[in-house]
């Protein structure tokens, strides 16, 4: 169980960090939010790869995970930006 948690944090950090690098502009989110977004993106990307039937193709799964990371980081960044602004 500990190994799963540690590996999820490591994969989340890498995936979230790459998602932030690929997303244009500045994301005003912290490292914890980046890791959580990366974990969600990795899980969602793997689930999508399984549903579409190409989970055995590692590179395609990684591409889907990175696309999901960009989406997740963008959503978290937008949520954070709207929370702090007042109209």
**4-54 tens-digit pLDDT:** 888 888 988 999 999 999 999 888 899 999 999 999 999 999 899 999 998
Rg (CA), the chain: 14
- Mean per-residue pLDDT, 49-78: 92
What pLDDT was estimated at residue 87? 47
* Count of CB atoms situated within 10 Å of the CB of 62: 16
- Domain regions of the chain by residue span: 2-80
């Amino acid at each position: 169980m500990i190994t799963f948690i540690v590996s999820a944090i490591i994969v989340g950090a890498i995936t979230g960090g790459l998602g932030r690098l690929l997303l244009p502009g500045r994301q005003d989110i912290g490292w914890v939010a980046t890791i959580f977004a990366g974990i969600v993106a990795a899980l969602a990307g793997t689930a999508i790869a399984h549903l579409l039937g190409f989970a055995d193709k590692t590179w395609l799964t990684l591409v889907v995970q990175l696309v999901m990371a960009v989406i997740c980081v963008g959503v978290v960044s937008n949520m954070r930006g709207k929370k702090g602004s007042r109209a």
